Amino acid sequence: MKVLVNGVGNIGTTLLQVLTTHRDLLGVEAVLAHKATVRPWDVPQLERLKGAGVVVVGDSFAAQASLADVMHDVDYVFDAGRNGGGLDRRRLYDEFPRLVGACAQGTEKDFGRPHVLGLGMDASETRHTFIPSCNTHSALAVLRTLTDGHLDDVLHGDFVVARRSEDIGNHERLVAGNVVARHLDPVLGTHHAIDADAVLQVLGKSLPIQSSDITTPSQFMHATRFSLRLASAPAVHEVQDRIERAAYVTSTQVFDSNKVFEIGRRFGLGGRLFHQAIFVGENLLVKGDTVSGWALVPQEGNTVLSTMSAFLQRAYGVAEADERIAALAEQLLVGPL
């Protein structure tokens, strides 16, 4: 398979590192990266990607070929371009004669059918796939984990997302104080529950959940405060056991997100953490049918396994994809933290 990552920002670079490091496991023959705008300070990064075997395409002086030159050879596209242009880019990808499929990240919710790893979703028959945002992944991981996979046990779920305002590598929107987000839906609240509800609808489920969002003056990690009422009344040790057994999540005894971020910088591929959610395990509140607590969110890293699952299911079918994802998760997931 020849794959193209369109966009070389935080998400795109993370995808490129996974694709190049684990190309044999993923069945990738060639990795291409398209960057539309190349500034002088982008060149060293592109040169490092070239050194890792990535073919850089585009119209700039740093490119090795134009997009028109390679579009006839591309089998799959990972769209990580700027927000809001996904539908226009999808129309472009549909002109690729060998295209098997394409996925887009985060904000591009109309790009295709949503896909989140761990919920039994099937992307094998879907040409266009949407990978929901990191905080939506976290909310769904909390629901999946604390119900032990029995999502219908949720009687009510409330999420408050404490968002970092800026990635550590940027300086465009760092806020000076806490900024509350507008509720976009009178029942669901912010886009996190709205997007999670859209994913659950694909599974034929509708859960009573809602979310709120506050942006904080931080550059490191998001965090989610959750409170779930469950049909059962699990004991604390049962909740801890569910977290320990659940796939694609982990726990930490660390209360400081800066320290957890540092663990990822030391031990994760490219300095990233790839868990869908990191439960603060020593800080759970369990009373009757209600479980509350905090989960830290590793931003763009926590959607990568879902992205690779969508790609592998489309390329090789669900059974083969599940085997490869299990092997990839063993390589990427560093935990407990």
| Residue 98 belongs to domain with CATH number | 3.40.50.720
Is the residue at 295 inside a domain? yes
Is the residue at 337 inside a domain? no
- What's the pLDDT score for residue 202? 96
- Shared-domain flag, residues 256 and 144: yes
Q: What is the CATH number of the domain that holds 147?
A: 3.30.360.10
- Shared-domain flag, residues 80 and 218: no
The reply to whether omega before 44 is within 30° of 0 (cis) is: no
Helix axes 10-21, 304-316, angle to 10 degrees: 50
- Shared-domain flag, residues 306 and 296: no
- Shared-domain flag, residues 211 and 310: no
- Residue numbers of the domain that contains 90: 2-132+302-332
Is the residue at 154 inside a domain? yes
Number of domains in the chain: 2
pLDDT 10s per residue in the chain (337 long)?
A: 999 999 998 899 999 999 999 999 999 999 999 998 888 889 999 999 999 999 999 888 778 889 989 999 999 999 998 777 888 899 999 999 999 999 998 778 889 999 999 999 999 999 999 999 999 999 999 999 999 999 999 999 999 999 887 777 777 777 888 999 999 999 999 999 999 999 999 999 999 999 999 999 888 899 999 999 999 889 999 999 999 999 999 999 999 999 999 999 999 999 999 999 999 988 999 999 999 999 999 988 999 999 999 999 999 999 999 999 999 999 999 888 9
- Shared-domain flag, residues 34 and 169: no
- Shared-domain flag, residues 46 and 61: yes
- Shared-domain flag, residues 41 and 17: yes
Is the residue at 52 inside a domain? yes
Cβ(75)–Cβ(98) under 8 Å?
yes
Q: What is the pTM of this model?
A: 0.95
- Shared-domain flag, residues 282 and 242: yes
